[in-house]
């Protein structure tokens, strides 16, 4: 594996992690907002 494909692999992996964390944060914000509004 050369340098370019290794860098692309790392960047792709980081992008997936960031997207998953973002979705997770949005879900938690929705849950917190629902509990605050409901309670």
What is the model's pLDDT at position 1?
Answer: 67
Token pair, residue 37, equals 């509004």
User: How confident is the model over 1-39, as pLDDT tens digits?
Assistant: 688 899 999 999 999 999 999 999 999 999 999 999 987
Number of domains making up the chain: 1
Q: Tell me how far apart the alpha carbons of residues 38 and 21 are, in angstroms, rounded to a whole number.
A: 25
What is the model's pLDDT at position 38?
Answer: 85
Q: Tell me how far apart the alpha carbons of residues 28 and 31 are, in angstroms, rounded to a whole number.
A: 5
Domain membership of residue 37 as a residue range: 1-39
């Amino acid at each position: 594996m050369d340098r370019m494909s290794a860098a692309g692999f790392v960047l792709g992996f980081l992008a997936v992690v960031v997207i998953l964390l973002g979705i997770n944060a949005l879900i938690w914000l929705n849950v917190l907002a629902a509990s605050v509004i409901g309670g």
